[in-house]
Structure 1
């Protein structure tokens, strides 16, 4: 969700929109305005496209009273069952006291408007925030850990799946990762020319391939770990911070079981925050996060927290994305993705190199 500030415009609901970049965007904004009136009884004074969003088209909306909203337009009808399940999971978390944005129901009391020109959901706008991407410092570590602990404690009661133990070694498949990197390296080698980023991505893919034997040993050392319903996409961009507190966790996935330790580490090892803090400050921050998490979710097994560093290291090293983006999803490649790719690769290799010392520090802090 964007936190950009826009001034309301004047005019009728379908006319008072921000200048679109393409004719198609103008048509979408007009259709969105009509859907807001039809589905929600809301008359927009301003609609502004928010650039973020990979699975949805996102908009900042100001109604005629000056109140701000956040709109998510779904790109296909085929996935609406999954999209609805994601909204329902967010509401389930909110009903349990977790800080989230609230979905606004339609006139028919639906969480997703499906009878207008566009399928969409409408959300309360969380003002004056920034995301946790690259901004985890100081007291924010503990605040994020506590928010995640409350979330996991609540989702452990979700009826879709009860928490269970599964082999830690199954958190990722090294054979699959090795095959993916083989194909990716070959794809880059067959290109007649490579951009500067593609040259770097090829080198990084080779470095990942070379350490997969280490990943196998890490996975073999893992104990059974908790699998339960997760947020599904709990990364830095989906955590909204206000000063040193967590204002909201947003953009839930559907209620799908996954490894608790992976979600803990995925947010705690936000690559940009890892880089900006440096290793020593990062492990201090991560231990603060882990301690606050344990206090907020006291039933979480100690093995899940202690193993989170190994789980995160192995999972990041096995993942070919975003190194694969120029080959598989070239439309996603921009300066931000390139920066993220470099930060994530550097964080993964640093974790691997310093894993014993980092785990010892975490273990000492949790005693």
Structure 2
């Protein structure tokens, strides 16, 4: 819950640090980590991101990543600097950044073919831009952890949530859905080690960090902005490619989801043609492993609800359904990806 004077505090910072007096703020129903606003001031419309208990040095690095991607023709929102040149301002207990408003909307029901191509080409340009980033030259603790998940602990956590939902005196609709989906997840956890063991050596470099449908703005078929870059941290290229090509919305809502995923990958290879075939072929398997080892959404529901928990609940159900479909059709998906990888 925001304090009653939260808008006044932010407006005060905008006035003093940005010379933007009289801002009228409207909180936006987006974001699980930051609190976001639409600001109207002096005939302008701006986007204001308020940080909550954030590492502001890391957030500054994320702003720098946004600028670098923009230099490689990736459509991004432009950060508005304060009067003293800062990209992020911390003042009077408020930390925020200000961005130019970009027209467009998030596509929540799966990208169409033209949007898939736009998303794929932008990601290829971005990976090209970040390929030689200094932060990508060192070891990746994140990757090491990802490659060695504690399956027993994961199973124990699933069982814990099953217990919480099952022991409630009055179960609601989501409790019933959680009991079904968590039981389904527990039944396939034993397959994770074999899926990991079959992965080839894969490319690791700096990525966007959260390249997903919720961070892409479209006007019709045009990609107008890639949003919310994370600080530079090396990870698998196949992860980021597979995550957007086989986005849960596509996998669950699109009857031709395999062809749609391949369409995005083909577009990606137009702007990053040198990605090894092993990374291309493995991207769906990596996306599947990420889904199988994640309890995002249901975890928040039973331990610490997020800012928009109903959205997280729905996302858990969607991701679980996507994991089931990917697991069932993985051989077909990888055959299609291998054909693309070797025919460019």
Deviations along 1:195-251, whole A, 9 cap, x unmatched? 221121122111111111222221111101111111111111101112212111101
1:260 pairs with 2:237: yes
Deviations along 1:44-83, whole A, 9 cap, x unmatched? 442211121111111101221x22110001123x522222
Please identify, of 44-53 and 183-192, the stretch whose mean Cα deviation from structure 2 is larger: 183-192
| Cα RMSD after superposing both structures | 2.3
Deviations along 1:147-181, whole A, 9 cap, x unmatched? 11111111112222238897898175534432332
Number of the residue aligned with 1:10: none
1:114 Cα shift?
Answer: 1.8
1:144 Cα shift?
Answer: 0.7
Q: Residue 218 and residue 298 in structure 1: after superposition, are their counterparts in 2 closer, same or farther (change >3 A)? A: same
CA contact (8 A) 1:34 1:117 kept: no
Distance in 2, matches of 1:333 and 1:116, equals 27
The total of aligned residue pairs comes to 340
Distance in 1, matches of 2:183 and 2:91, equals 50
Number of the residue aligned with 1:84: 60
Q: Residue 112 and residue 200 in structure 1: after superposition, are their counterparts in 2 closer, same or farther (change >3 A)? A: same
1:228 pairs with 2:205: yes
1:131 pairs with 2:106: yes
> Which of 250, 257, 260 is 1:285 aligned to?
260
Question: Which residues of structure 1 form unaligned runs of 5+?
Answer: 1-21
CA contact (8 A) 1:163 1:227 kept: no
> Which of 55, 62, 85 is 2:40 aligned to?
62
Q: Residue 51 and residue 112 in structure 1: after superposition, are their counterparts in 2 closer, same or farther (change >3 A)? A: same
Number of the residue aligned with 1:357: 332
SS at match of 2:89: coil
Number of the residue aligned with 1:155: 130
> Which of 47, 51, 54 is 1:74 aligned to?
51
CA contact (8 A) 2:116 2:263 kept: yes
SS at match of 1:114: strand
TM value normalised by structure 2: 0.91
CA contact (8 A) 2:298 2:312 kept: no
1:100 pairs with 2:95: no
Q: Residue 162 and residue 44 in structure 1: after superposition, are their counterparts in 2 closer, same or farther (change >3 A)? A: farther
1:185 Cα shift?
Answer: 2.6
1:275 Cα shift?
Answer: 2.3
SS at match of 2:254: helix
1:246 pairs with 2:213: no
Number of the residue aligned with 2:173: 196
CA contact (8 A) 2:242 2:284 kept: yes
TM value normalised by structure 1: 0.86
Distance in 1, matches of 2:22 and 2:248, equals 38
Q: Residue 185 and residue 348 in structure 1: after superposition, are their counterparts in 2 closer, same or farther (change >3 A)? A: same
1:364 Cα shift?
Answer: 2.3
SS at match of 1:330: coil
Question: Which residues of structure 2 form unaligned runs of 5+?
Answer: none
Number of the residue aligned with 1:43: 21
Distance in 1, matches of 2:300 and 2:61, equals 28
